[in-house]
Structure 1
Amino acid sequence: MSVELNHTIVAAHDKKASAQFLADLLGLETSPPFGPFIPVTTHNGVTLDYLEAEGEITPQHYAFLVSEADFDAIFARIRAAGLTYWADPYHRRVNEINANDGGRGTYFDDPNGHNMEILTRPYGSGSAD
């Protein structure tokens, strides 16, 4: 059996601005609209399909496994944008990165309150900090 995540829907108050926010930080591009969605495609082919939503948005968590070089570039863009970032998903260790599993990781919020994460090592692949 071959199972792969193909896409997920991301609720946003402004789907175009939110998709562009993520694409810019991760060094990706938005794709042309597909129905009601603005897709952002990762390098492994998974798309985050941004959908316009009204009212309160329930924050979700999206984690992106990146190379060390990509982490440096993305982290530089996070800092240049003046975003607050955290070393943990509970937002307790502000303006820090973590060294989980011998890699690096950090969390930041998107404009809709979604908890975004970049990490260089998958969980369980090494020693925890």
Structure 2
Amino acid sequence: MNMKYSNLLLRLSAVFGLIGALMGGHMAGSYDYAFRPVHAHVLVVGWLSIFSWAVYYRVFQPSAKVLSALHVYSAVVGVVGLTAGMALNIFNFLPRTVNLIVYIGGGATLLLSFGLFCLLTFTQKSEGR
């Protein structure tokens, strides 16, 4: 199961890394930095955090299976929700209420994911493979 989680998170981080790089390239080429906060969050939580969690699941064998599942799926929903909600909020594609629900919901879900990961590391019994 851990390899499944690792592969899912690794692929998601690769997608977010590509999106972040494309956003950075667009900003540099157009001299329009309106995407800057979204770009930063895409790279920090979408690429870096998700990648580090992929490595965690590749190296460690968490014994708390339900906690691991909650962590991984809340991470996926949270990072997509936060970054999409932030972009929606900045560019006002939808009504403001919808933008804020996606933005705050994604951020709260991602915060939950960070808390679950912290709990997961403190319940870790093995030192790795």
Range of TM-score over shorter length = under 0.3
User: Which structure is higher in RCO with an 8 Å CA cutoff and minimum separation 6?
Assistant: 2
- TM-score normalised according to structure 2 size: 0.24
